[in-house]
Structure 1
């Protein structure tokens, strides 16, 4: 009878345990956290991490920060935790340059995604900023902003939770945004090109991004160079409705057509940051 209870006491043989991990991850819509797997398997998080490393090497699942996701998913959308570890230096530079465009007393809207999250961290680091209101539909971004309260007022839009990006989308997203007249919105996306402007792989989040942009007077796109020249399913904003693009780790050839279309482009790891009005800082 003890053998029948082996799953409960954590003594499931490693091959069977790993097969079960694959089954759980394959059946999940997005990220499966290490702690959840450990609880489901009745084993330690250390053991699960070792299993995930092996399964990733065998290309049976994809290991990401905090857990695992399935391989070969039908949608090209990737979990927040997976993209968070990519282009980290570029995103930090973009965050600092974007945060330099913000003044005390303003109302800022922050989109979902790892690059807007970098903007949030850079805003928190600016100890000179006071009386700032930040509106976001990202639970991750809201938590990143929490250390700046009460210097900042952080408003979470509400809406329906999407676990893949920890984002809030319609329905109910639109209840708060029509009541807000923000100074600037910082938008992320998965593609930026001349023909389509800013695009995104996911339609519910595309709709949410449009609503965020409609709540602000100025639109600033924050995107590293890997997004340039790409177009995806949902059109968020055409180039004519984008005021500034803040980027990094990008080639001159990629930037040239965006600038030729009349959009100001700040290359954060080249321009040395931006002044509050978005112009290059010479300080």
Structure 2
């Protein structure tokens, strides 16, 4: 049997290696109950070494240049991301062109758009492009190339930015690493920030998809201020005070909620 200190070191090693880890996976790795894992996590949180998220644990928000891998992020807050994606998909009408940035929530959106006919998708995200290809929609997808691949499998760099100068889309669905009133939208990669800015400049409307865990996170590079966001879609896990603050700074705030009839949303 491992001592608590030994288990906690294993947890730290896993979080450092992957950026984010689920409680159930840690329990399976260490052969202990979820309750034991949560006690260990509580001690690590008190020391400021990790941060709790729904169903798992991540590196602290102060790690402004760290970005967990795509697989690790995909496993966290899946229901919130799915609800946000469904709300975003309702904004898309047949015959429109949409831009989709990299990220796990935007990837969830891609799956929701597979049944929307006659749309053209412009993306720098490999997983988003794959989702449309696997759904038989590759003829309507434009994949932007770039000089660097991020941990989220987004292609970023000068080639992507140059390509975007000749492209105009009706609506951009933009993911983000962090958001705050003063910092706006931020990400941990300088070239990704520049690429996202080019996506914004090429779009008539900007729709940001950000679950509640992004609130208060400030990464290395500024993307855009909140005043440039036409619609921000988040989930009900975001505290009420944060919802009110965001509603004062973005064009339209949509908070997804589940009810007995299924998915619904409120606009603030």
How far the C-alpha of 1:161 sits from its partner, in A, is 3.6
Which residue in the other structure is 1:251 paired with?
Answer: 239
* Ranges of 4+ aligned residues in structure 1 off by more than 4 Å: 71-74, 270-274
Partner of 1:94: 84
TM-score, length basis structure 2: 0.72
The structure-2 alpha-carbon separation of the partners of 1:75 and 1:99, relative to structure 1 and needing over 3 Å to count, comes to same
2:53 maps to what in 1? none
Unmatched runs of 5 consecutive residues or more in structure 1: 1-21, 32-48, 60-70
Shift of 1:171: 2.9
Q: How does the TM-score come out when normalised to structure 1?
A: 0.68
How far apart, CA to CA, are the structure 2 residues paired with 1:78 and 1:245?
A: 23
Match of 2:178 in 1: 191
Aligned residue among 213, 221, 229 for 1:234: 221
The reply on whether 1:133 has 2:120 as its aligned counterpart is: yes
Picking from 114, 124, 143, the partner of 2:104 is 114
Distance in structure 2 (CA, Å) of the matches to 1:86 and 1:150: 27
Query: RMSD of the alignment, in Å?
Result: 3.3
Give the Cα separation in 2 of the matches to 1:186 and 1:150.
18
Distance apart, 1:121 and its partner CA: 1.1
User: CA–CA distance in 1 between the matches of 2:123 and 2:264?
Assistant: 24
How many residue pairs align between the two structures?
219
Q: Distance in 2 between matches of 1:149 and 1:234?
A: 36
Kept in 1, the 8 Å contact 2:229–2:250? The answer is no
In structure 2, C-alpha distance between the alignment counterparts of 1:206 and 1:151, rounded to whole Å: 26
* 1:173 partnered with 2:149: no
After superposition, the Cα gap between the structure-2 partners of 1:150 and 1:222, relative to the gap in structure 1 and judged at 3 Å, is closer
Change (3 A) 1:74 1:191: closer
Match of 2:129 among 128, 131, 142: 142
C-alpha change, 1:151 and 1:136, in structure 2 (3 Å) is closer
Q: 1:190 & 1:81 partners in 2: Cα distance?
A: 15
Give 1:267's aligned residue. 255
Distance 2:178 2:194 in 1: 15
Given that 1:132 and 1:151 are in contact with CA atoms closer than 8 Å, whether structure 2 keeps it comes out as: no
**Distance between the aligned counterparts of 1:147 and 1:225, measured in 2?**
30
SS in structure 2 opposite 1:179?
A: coil
Q: Give the CA deviation at 1:53.
A: 3.4
How big is the shift at 1:163?
5.1
| Higher-Rg member (1/2) | 1
Correspondent of 2:113 among 104, 119, 123: 123
Deviation (angstroms), 1:189: 1.0
Structure 1 residue 268: Cα displacement: 1.4
